[in-house]
């Protein structure tokens, strides 16, 4: 059975836009680079050709990945009303006891995770620990940097 990829509608749209760009802009640009590099002669010592072919391989792999994610997407609908527990698509305010500070995370599917934007995957150590929990619950997270103790302060859309 194929793995399903949880994502929001916003995440699906971003992937579709990236796929469109790769197919209609990036692919033709790379094809042109390859065509120009072939004109330089001997391909065995042609670094421009090798670089363009590597770029082409990466682009084609990304296209296949995106198509697979979209084909097996599970779109997470917006949470109705006021969320009572942590699910994909909500924002969670937690208090980190070790550092004495609050953080707000948006729980998203793995395809949308971006720690720099405070978007964490439901499959990450913190995301897994928070899933299904309610305001007031405390969780201990086994993270690569060590154990973290978090208390859920607020859950919102």
pLDDT exceeds 90 at position 38: no
Domain count, the chain: 2
pLDDT in tens, 57-74: 999 999 999 999 999 998
Of residues 23 and 43, which shows the higher confidence score? Answer: 23
Range of the domain at 124: 91-156
Residue finishing a domain among 76, 108, 135: 76
67 & 101 share domain: no
- Average pLDDT on 89-109 reads 91
Q: State the chain's mean pLDDT as an integer.
A: 89
Most confident of 35-44, 97-106, 137-146: 97-106
Q: How far is CA 45 from CA 2, 26, 49, 115, in A?
A: 41, 25, 9, 41
- Average pLDDT on 119-140 reads 93
Residue finishing a domain among 25, 49, 76: 76
Residue 17 domain-assigned (yes or no): yes
């Amino acid at each position: 059975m194929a793995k399903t990829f949880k994502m929001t509608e916003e995440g699906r749209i971003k992937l579709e836009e990236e796929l469109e760009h790769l197919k209609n802009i990036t692919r033709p640009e790379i094809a042109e680079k390859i065509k120009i590099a072939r004109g330089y002669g001997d391909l065995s010592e042609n670094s421009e050709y090798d670089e363009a072919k590597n770029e082409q391989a990466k682009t084609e792999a990304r296209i296949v990945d995106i198509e697979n994610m979209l084909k097996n997407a599970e779109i997470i609908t917006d949470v109705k009303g006021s969320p009572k527990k942590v699910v994909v698509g909500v924002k969670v305010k937690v208090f980190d006891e070790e550092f004495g500070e609050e953080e707000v995370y948006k729980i998203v599917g793995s395809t949308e995770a971006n720690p720099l934007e405070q978007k964490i995957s439901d499959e990450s150590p913190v995301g897994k620990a928070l899933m299904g929990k309610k305001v007031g619950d405390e969780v201990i997270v086994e993270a690569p940097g060590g154990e973290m103790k978090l208390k859920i302060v607020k859950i919102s859309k």
